[in-house]
Amino acid sequence: MTDAPTQISETIAANNVVLFMKGTKDMPQCGFSQRVAGVLNFMGVEFADVNVLADDAIRQGIKDFSDWPTIPQLYVNGEFVGGCDIVTEMTLSGELDQLFDQNEVAYDKEAADKIREANA
């Protein structure tokens, strides 16, 4: 059994986009996780979801790993992006699109624009 920091590092390294969240992308277990997973799903982003509720070591480990106190946590190409508020702001400002473009992450640009239009 690998320890939590190793498991977290390996998961982040193995996937372009990872969301550490409460629940799964198909069944989020908190509003903040639901919002971030919803944005990624709506934009058609392929991402790995890690349910922190399934493993207390991962739940605490990801907070220690990122030095960030809350979940969800989004990683793109190994870099910590942020939690719900940051991802929401980046989506609305277009910064998330730029991040995806820079990291060659496929997403639906029209869907991203629709999110911005709906929140304008």
Q: Is 45 left (phi over 0), alpha (psi -120 to 50) or beta?
A: beta
Q: Do the beta carbons of residue 101 and residue 94 sit within 8 Å?
A: no
Instruction: With beta carbons less than 8 A apart as the criterion, state whether 72 and 21 touch.
Output: yes
Is 30 annotated as a binding-site member?
A: yes
Binding site per annotation, positions? 30
Binding site per annotation, positions for [2Fe-2S] cluster? 30
